[in-house]
Amino acid sequence: MKKIWMTVGTMALALSLPLSSMAASNQKFTDVPETKHFAEAINELAERHIITGYADGMFKPGNPITRGQASAIIAKLMGLNPDHMVKDPGFKDVSKANGYHNAIAKLAELEVIGGYEDGSFGPNDPVKRGQLASILVKAFDLPRYAFNSEENPFHDVKPNTSHSANVLILHKLGITTGVTSDRFGINEWVTRGQAAKLMQLTERVHPETYSLKTWGPMLRFSEIMTDEDTDEFAVNSELYHAAIIKGRQTPSGYTGDRVQVTPLKEGRGTLQLGGNYGMENQNIKRYYHKYYVDVKKVDGKLKVQLLYASDVLKTRARLKLAADEEVENIRFVRTDGEVLSSNMPFEGYADSPDVFIRVNKPGNFIATVRFTDGKEVRYVVEVKVPDKHMLYYKVKTSKI
């Protein structure tokens, strides 16, 4: 079976091992002049003990970075403690004596990286540019944007192929560009210098994200624009970006889906989740959950907080009309005669002559519709409290 990662000869394994006698707070490398575009990143990460050079005082920025080296650096950037409670990933070529074992094991457990189909990991294999893009997206949980062909400037990044979406995520966030204006070099090796710069930029610019685990597969989500008093759904708000991240099937079962929420600007929005989680007597079980999405800037960075919403939102009550009927006024009363509105606001549909009003409390009501020709028609509007977690009232309308 062909490996996903290209195998090469064994590389030097110095990168990201504990610092030696050359470690210093202002560590400089003899082969990394300040004029190089990656110099600042290399020196800054070295000062933080995230990366190291070789014993001869060189960094060798032009050498390919290996899977083991990349794992060790990413683990440190993520703030992980790979020496604590590490589960052996079972890679046949990564023994516990390997200096990268714990970092590899931790990232494998978090599904940031994976091994080959033959059960090996290839810690000395070089990393390709597309592969590193996928590692960074998973490690920092970068926003999972969807792209169309117009948003892809690279002719070697084909739609719906391995790593393509993750390459475009890095490009959209300004983390990376191509090797030319129209070529990313998705299958080219990443050098140590390039990797240092990409990792530093990702750490600096990545937005905060928030995830919600779901209650079953076949998930869908949308926003409720409550500020505009409407139940029209928008896939993404101006305040946040939401994306479904699918789980995977494992020997122990499905890992589960989640919804990722990325803040875009300050404000309050809403988010509804819904999905199906099984069949019972040919009836699909459904779940619904709703949240308020609060986006605030904290210490210069946007943060998102999701608050479970227990209230029921205003709900449409549809009044069916004939094509030649034009509404002038709607009077809305309780069946006991209490007048709630003598001029009830109403809205139309783009593809139907029907109109709708919005109800925000349970009960039985009468809607009297007066048309522009002076005729009137009455509707019974029954509004019931919804089932648990439902977003809207149960509404039934019928013409009298």
* 63 and 198, same domain (yes or no): yes
Instruction: Give the relative orientation of helices 101-109 and 67-77 as an angle to the nearest 10 degrees.
Output: 70
Least confident among 36-50, 113-127, 230-244: 230-244
Contacts of 97 (CB under 8 A, 6+ apart): none
* 326 and 223, same domain (yes or no): no
Judge whether 251 and 277 are in contact, CB under 8 Å: no
* 319 and 373, same domain (yes or no): yes
* pLDDT at residue 225 is higher than 90: no
Half-sphere exposure of 250 (CA within 13 A, CB side): 10
Judge whether 190 and 126 are in contact, CB under 8 Å: yes
pLDDT value of residue 335: 94
* 224 and 201, same domain (yes or no): no
Q: Is residue 136 part of a domain?
A: no
Least confident among 20-24, 93-97, 104-108, 389-393: 20-24
pLDDT value of residue 394: 87
* 323 and 199, same domain (yes or no): no
* 200 and 70, same domain (yes or no): yes
pLDDT value of residue 244: 84
CATH number of the domain within which 366 lies? 2.60.40
Q: What is the pLDDT of residues 324-382, one digit of tens each?
A: 999 999 999 999 999 999 999 999 988 899 999 999 999 999 999 999 999 999 999 99
* 239 and 323, same domain (yes or no): no
In whole angstroms, give the CA distance from residue 337 to residue 334.
5
* 292 and 338, same domain (yes or no): no
Name the residue range of residue 278's domain.
210-308
pLDDT value of residue 303: 94
* pLDDT at residue 318 is higher than 80: yes
* 201 and 216, same domain (yes or no): no
Q: What is the pLDDT of residues 134-156, one digit of tens each?
A: 999 999 999 999 888 778 999 99
* pLDDT at residue 125 is higher than 50: yes
Closest CA to 219 of 306, 292, 287, 307: 287
* 71 and 195, same domain (yes or no): yes
Average pLDDT score over the chain: 84
In whole angstroms, give the CA distance from residue 45 to residue 52.
8
Q: Is residue 134 part of a domain?
A: no
Q: What is the pLDDT of residues 16-62, one digit of tens each?
A: 333 333 333 355 899 999 999 999 999 999 999 999 899 899 999 99
pLDDT value of residue 282: 58
Displacement of CA 11 from its chain's centroid (Å): 35
* 393 and 344, same domain (yes or no): yes
Q: Is residue 259 part of a domain?
A: yes
In whole angstroms, give the CA distance from residue 98 to residue 124.
11
Q: Is residue 148 part of a domain?
A: no
Closest CA to 168 of 184, 179, 181, 180: 184
pLDDT value of residue 13: 32
Judge whether 389 and 289 are in contact, CB under 8 Å: yes
Mean pLDDT of 253-258: 76
Q: Is residue 101 part of a domain?
A: yes
* pLDDT at residue 232 is higher than 60: no
Q: What is the pLDDT of residues 62-75, one digit of tens each?
A: 999 999 999 999 99
Half-sphere exposure of 279 (CA within 13 A, CB side): 2
In eight-state DSSP terms, residue 103 is H
Q: Give the residue from 285, 308, 331 where a domain finishes.
A: 308
Instruction: Give the relative orientation of helices 39-47 and 192-205 as an angle to the nearest 10 degrees.
Output: 70
Q: Which helix (H) or strand (E) holds 70?
A: helix 67-77
Q: Give the residue from 205, 237, 269 where a domain finishes.
A: 205
Closest CA to 255 of 78, 115, 111: 111
* pLDDT at residue 111 is higher than 80: yes
Residue % of the chain over a pLDDT of 70: 82
Q: Is residue 85 part of a domain?
A: yes
Closest CA to 233 of 221, 244, 222: 222
Q: Give the residue from 308, 331, 365 where a domain finishes.
A: 308
In whole angstroms, give the CA distance from residue 32 to residue 20.
18
Q: Is residue 157 part of a domain?
A: no
Side chain identity, residue 297: K
Number of structural domains (the chain) is 3
* 252 and 360, same domain (yes or no): no
In whole angstroms, give the CA distance from residue 307 to residue 294.
8
Q: Is residue 371 part of a domain?
A: yes
Helices (H) and strands (E) in the chain, counts: 6, 18
Facing residues of 243 across strands?
260
Higher pLDDT, 261 or 4: 261
pLDDT value of residue 102: 94
